[in-house]
Structures are given as structure tokens and as C-alpha cells.
Amino acid sequence: MSARASLANGLACPAPLARHDRVQLGHGSGGRMSAALLRDHFLPRFRDAALARLGDAAVVAGAAELAISTDTFVVHPLEFPGGNIGSLAVHGTTNDLAMMGAEPRYLSCGFVLEEGLELDLLDRILDAMADAAAALDVAIVTGDTKVVERGKADGVFINTTGVGTLHADFRPAPDRARPGDAVLVSGPIGRHGIAVMARREGLAFDAEIESDSAALWPLVRRLRDALPADAVHVLRDPTRGGVASALNEIAEASGVGITLADQELPIPEPVAAACAMLGLDPLYVANEGVLLAFVAAEHADEALETMRAHPLGAHARRIGTVGDEHPGMVVLRTGMGGSRVVDMLPGEQLPRIC
């Protein structure tokens, strides 16, 4: 943490600091209140040796090639069914590494705290971060906290930056989709965006929809280990902008056309109902624990079986095919024999879902 802990020693004998229930501006000072915030809230949860040394930077073992990814999380509300901004900040960034085929190893975290934030809420967020990182065996190695005045942020924003190590032969990339590839999805879509939206707007549906927020690396590692090195061409987690935006990006980057089968899309009934009520298209709703995989056709069944053997991929299915017609475009074929172009949205469907 660059707000470093310099714990008061006996000689200096400073007056004890007042106990606080909420974040104060002084917690961002770099002085003794900053040190107390670190000591009482961050360090007990993030126990990595590199972090505990509190230098200006963490020193860690490297590798010949690295993947680096960054994401800032501004989700509102901070807690939602299935997670909170802390678990999301670990899942989101490590998933981005996993989509490059990289094993997530290290995370940094940068916090912007709004004056007045409840420290109990901060603790729940930090607990969720620590749990998510521990489950993945990822080390939170360095961090930073800033405090801004009330009304100059919105509770807490968290940046996580991840460093991962790469396997020599396993290099999925958005420009590697090829005609003939099968397009697979690891699970039901649309849950994260709807879960956050419902909590934010105080909407009640017949069934509570939980975010799918989860770490995808264990699923990716299985695909890497089970299939021939070159079978998996593209991996992508369809977050902001949903499945539609992710597929458009891949179609564009690879110069291919993608055709989806409407009736194969795994849209949970409660998500479909909520989308119908809210006027949203589930293809554009964010996911945080689902991946799209473009796999060479001859390995598609093997990839599906591999995914289905893991809880995160239990409901994996094939949703489409890559072709060389309509390059750069995504087309949805309906059960009635019709088809429509699935374009990128120009602007915002659901703001602040990640």
C-alpha cells in the first residue's frame, strides 16, 4: 500500500486514534489515520507477504511472458445478489487474464473511498475480495487507497490490475476465429446485469436473479489441459455490452461472420421475463461468470464435455457457428427461419453494472 503503515511505537507514544464507523478524509492522508485504516481493515484480510512489507511496490517472481489486464469497478449498488464490488473486482480482472489463456497470479488494488463510507460495508467488500482471490490462489500484492470528499465519488470505486503467466502453446485471441469454428457458451446469460439492475431499482421478480459473478480461470485451465493446444481459438467473457458486443468484436477482429441459433441461447426464464418487462435484450446484458469459446469444429463436442464436467460449465452449449459470409457481422437465426443482424449498441443499455 502506498499509504503505508507506520505503526506507532512506544517511544513516540501518540494519543490513541478515535474509533470511526465511517471513512473520514483523514483516512487518505498518508498519516497515522491512513496507517490505522490499513492495519485494521486491509492487512488482516490481504495477507500476502509482498503486501505486508509495504514498500513502494511489490516484488514477485516473474515469467518469460506476461499478460497484464486492468479494470476499474464502479458498480452501483455496491452489494447485489450473488456478490459485491469486491468479489466482482477480483473476478472481472482475473477473467480478462484467463480469456488470454493466462493463469492469474498477482493483483494490485486501488481504492477510491468516498468520505462517509461505512467501514462495515468496506469490510464486507474486502472480505469478498480476499475470499475470491484466495479461491483462485491469486496474491493481492500491492494496493493504494485514496479518500475524496462526500459527493465526489459514489461509495467506493476499485481498480484491480492483474498479472498472469502464459503457457507457450495456449494463445486464444479475439482475432483467431476461423470459418467452421463452433461458438460455445459456458452457461446461462444475462444474470449479472439483471441482478444489479433489479437491486438498484428495487424491482422484485417472481424469482430472485443472482449474478453469475465467478472466476473463470479453473474452467479455462480445464479446456487448456483437455484439448489439443490449438483447438481453442478465441475465449471471451461477455461483460459490459453482453454477448452481442463480444461477438461483434470477435467478428470484426477476425474478419469472419458469426451465425447464432436463437433457440440455442441459454436465457434463464426469470432473465427473459425481466428483460421483457424492462425492454432489454438479454444479448446485450452483462455477464461476469460466463465465457464464449470459439473452438475448431472437430473439438467442439470434447470442449462441451470438458466444460460440463465443471460446475461453472454445467449448462454449456453450442450457440452458433463461424462462417466466411457477412464478415464482421453477427446474424441471429430465429426458430421461424428468419434472421436479423445483431449489431453493437451505440450507447448505454445498463450503466454501472461493473
Interface of this chain with a copy of itself, residues 315 to 354, rule: CB under 8 A: 326-329, 341, 343-349, 351-352
Pull the grid cell for residue 56: 513502494
Interface region with a copy of itself, contact rule CB under 8 A, candidates 61-69, 130-138, 225-233, 315-323: 61-69
Instruction: Work out how close the CB of 2 gets to a copy of itself at its nearest, in angstroms, rounded to a whole number.
Output: 6
**Residue number with CB closer to a copy of itself (195 or 353):** 353
Residue 29, Cβ density class (10 Å: 0-12 exposed, 13-18 middle, ≥19 buried): middle
Beta bridge partners of 341: 331
- Residue 120 CA neighbour count, 13 Å, CB half: 1
State residue 49 phi and psi, 5-degree precision: -60, -40
Nearest to 222 by CA among 231, 213, 210: 231
The one among 121, 135, 253, 261 contacting a copy of itself by CB under 8 A: 253
State which of positions 182-241 bind a copy of itself (CB under 8 A). 236-237, 239-241
Query: Binding-site residue total for a copy of itself (CB under 8 A)?
Result: 104
**Residue number with CB closer to a copy of itself (227 or 286):** 286
State the binding string over 1-40 for a copy of itself (x if CB under 8 A, else -). -xxx-xx-x-xx-xx-x------xxx-xxxxxxxx-----
Instruction: Assess 106 for contact with a copy of itself (CB under 8 A).
Output: yes
**Residue number with CB closer to a copy of itself (72 or 273):** 72
Tell me which residue has cell 470459439.
Answer: 294
Q: What is the DSSP string of 209-268?
A: PPP-----HHHHHHHHHHS-TTSEEEEE---TTHHHHHHHHHHHHHT-EEEEEGGG----
**Residue number with CB closer to a copy of itself (162 or 268):** 162
Rounded-to-integer distance, Cα 330 and Cα 341, Å: 6
Rounded-to-integer distance, Cα 216 and Cα 114, Å: 31
**Residue number with CB closer to a copy of itself (250 or 270):** 250
State the binding string over 271-310 for a copy of itself (x if CB under 8 A, else -). ----------------------------------------
**Residue number with CB closer to a copy of itself (111 or 184):** 111
